[in-house]
Amino acid sequence: MYYISYTDQSCIINTIELNIVSKIDHLHKAFESRVRLGIMSILMVSDWVDYKSLKEQLNLTDGNLASHINGLEKIDFIVINKGFIGKKTMTTYKITELGKQTFKQHINALEKLIKGL
For residue range 6-63, list pLDDT tens digits in order: 455 544 444 444 454 456 777 888 888 999 999 999 999 999 999 999 999 999 999 9
- Tell me the per-residue pLDDT of 48-97, one tens digit each, with 9 for 90 and over: 999 999 999 999 999 999 999 999 999 999 999 999 989 999 999 999 99
Residue 90 within any structural domain of the chain: yes
Residue 91 within any structural domain of the chain: yes
Rounded Cα distance between 95 and 16, Å, is: 35
Beta strands in the chain (DSSP E): 49-50, 78-85, 88-95
Rounded Cα distance between 46 and 99, Å, is: 13
Residue ranges making up the domain that contains 102: 29-116
CATH code of residue 43: 1.10.10.10
Q: Reduced to 3 states, what is the DSSP secondary structure of residue 79?
A: strand
Residue 20 within any structural domain of the chain: no
Please tell me the pTM assigned to this model: 0.76
Q: How many whole angstroms from its chain centre is CA 61? A: 19
Evaluate whether 65 touches 50 at the Cβ level (below 8 Å).
no
Residue 105 within any structural domain of the chain: yes
| Number of independent structural domains in the chain | 1
Residue 78 within any structural domain of the chain: yes
